[in-house]
Structure 1
Amino acid sequence: MNDLSHVRQGAFAPGNRADVADALMVESGLRIEVDRRRGRGAGINTSGRFEPVTRSTEDDGWNSLEDLPPFKTEVQVEKPRTIIARNDSPDIPFDRSVNPYRGCEHGCIYCFARPTHAYMGLSAGLDFEARLFAKPDAAKLLERELAKPGYKVKPIAIGTNTDPYQPIEKEWRIMRQILEVLKAADHPVMIVTKSAMVLRDIDILAPMAEKGLARVGLSVTTLDRKLARLMEPRASTPEKRLDAIRKLSEAGIPTSVLMAPVIPALNDHEIERVLDSAKAAGATEASYVLLRLPLEVSPLFRDWLLQHYPDRYRHVMSLVRSMRDGKDYDADFTKRMKGAGPYAWQIGRRFDLAAKRLELNTNRRALNCDIFVPPLGTGVQLSLL
């Protein structure tokens, strides 16, 4: 789809360099053919930002592009030395996390984790969705790190970067192995996912929840199935996510709803509906994050917006920049999650009022960090004392 009629009709703000770049990107043919990326979120696959050259596909006049294969999911094994990642970000409510996978097959176009694929020499676009890395030793590494002398217990967050229940988890089952280690050690865990596959592990999560060790958050971005399929092509449908909230809650597992991201003029009108539906399903907590467009995510999202909602392009990006000090993104810790300005304030106020009306976030309980027992399993070095 390289039709630039919407450009001529005023979809772009005059003089905006990002808008002009979008027009040139579409016109130059950088967008991958639909048949090659069917079922994927990104429309482009530009080289990573650390690469010395930029590559793009061009037809040589002999219809050569028709011979290129579609993007298929490929999984490579990654062998990290450690598995617990630490952070000291003041706007994040946890200081440690575990990522079973690198890259995510869900293909959410807005995913802020996309730029991390550049560290592997790959694109944040289609490569992020199709060229994945699995960490099969994650459970063993976690067991070893939890057993280290002096380890101080705090909840481990999983799903904060890429989804631990993305489709390849069905085969690799790395997340389940991690939960088995945490359950055996009575270690608290917080999970965020867009997948109903989390229901598979209720047999582990329910006993942990009884001890105050587990909490699950389902990300519900929209209730519109068409929008969800375009934005999050391989994630569970909104109905299945709400059903997962219901079944987790019925199993006694504290469950929350995360509306992330809130995108102005695209899904922000659904704030109240999403919270109403999640509350009816059994959620007890709710939170949101404003759309974040760091590094390569910005051109990916803008290309997606041009492809699927060209009539809204100018309005959406204008509102985004109004909440980001005139930029596509502001990494300031005090602003990156919620934005700034009148429109950002309005979104926050609406969310808070809806949550208060539904009595969400009224009885938050900290996870139990007092019953942890260090592992003594295979691969754990015993003390010499």
Structure 2
Amino acid sequence: MAKTLNGQAALLLIVQALYGIANALSGTFVPVYLWKASQSYMLIGWFTMGQYVMSGLTFWVVGKWVKEHNKMNSLRIGIILSGVFYCSVLLLGTQAKVYYLPLGVLNGMALGFFWVAFNVVYFEVTDPDNRDRFNGWSGLLGSAAGIVAPWVSGLLITSMQGEKGYRLIFTLSLIIFSISVVLSFWLKKRHGQGRYNWKHGFQQLMQKGNPWRRMFPAIAAQGVREGVFMFLVGLTVYVATQNESKLGTYSLITSLVALISFWIVGKMLKKNNRKWAMLIGVIMIGIVILPLFWKVSYATLLMFGIGTSLFMPLYIIPMTSRVFDLIGQSEESAREREEFIVLREAGLVLGRIIGLSSYLIVLPLNHSAIAITWLLFAVGIVPIAGWWFMKPFLTEQQAQT
């Protein structure tokens, strides 16, 4: 198989990039918007919990539709529901704080519909030889979205005095979601094959010697970190600065570093060096949290953000590629790709819920800067355990090259 990406893979990347831009425009600021309306860390936590739980349930239920029917419709519904979510926040205004849990559930449903279809299509349009390249481009485009979109949003919110600015960025997101839905019609119709097995994931984990018994906790370890970092970092930057424009600039700088890093790692990474690249990545994304113990300020948060952006690709590209290589290791497992992708998401969701639960336990007791830093550090080093679980898979792949 050629290492280049075909037209369908390129188009899928464009749809993902537009989806990412729309979410980056507004998604970075939704926790801040809810925080400003409520001044409650717990409200943000429960909004996020609703999102995580619903996304996992949606993956599991919609997996049947994606396997047995046209999966592109699931992708489009995910984009449309994301638009409905931002439209709801727009219409509710500051009253969004009252409906934080239904809003979290709605956003989780949107993410579930989109990503279950995206991951299956991603598997179908790539192969083990070009998967690292696709993931490199995916990270590159995601970083590019993170560079411009939140920076523009931050400037608009600050210059338009808050509420008007938020209304404008939520509207812009709706427009971009609409464009990505239209573009998705150029992706080939992908009708389902076979019957969906509701118990598949459980059966894999119960089977002695099954590789997923090691892969699942590795994925969960990734989820533990994501569960907290996905919303708390941006919120901490805002609380430290009280300025949306500075949060936008933070996102611009860290995403620019990530863009360069994803591009370099995507080009340089090979199957025979994934193991050590991933080890360096997991150690360094833990070490870069240490400056926050000195002081939680814009400068130390920026040091942490730049360090994370620099080393995250070393961890996330091998992690993602190896999981999907395992799914495609045989014709039988490739036929069960939808169920395996649901199993992967179950690992991520379980990890995210564990990470977020630690946040919901710690914050009511102590929401000082040092408590938040310890929480970030505790969940930030969990991926080291993920590397240990992944090591046999990476060693095996290294031996095959």
Q: What TM-score do the two structures reach when normalised by structure 2?
A: 0.23
Q: Compare the two structures and name the one with the higher helix fraction.
A: 2
Higher RCO structure, 1 or 2 (CA under 8 Å, sep 6+): 2
State the TM-score, normalized to the length of structure 1: 0.24
More strand per residue: 1
Considering only CA atoms, is the larger Rg found in Structure 1 or Structure 2? 1
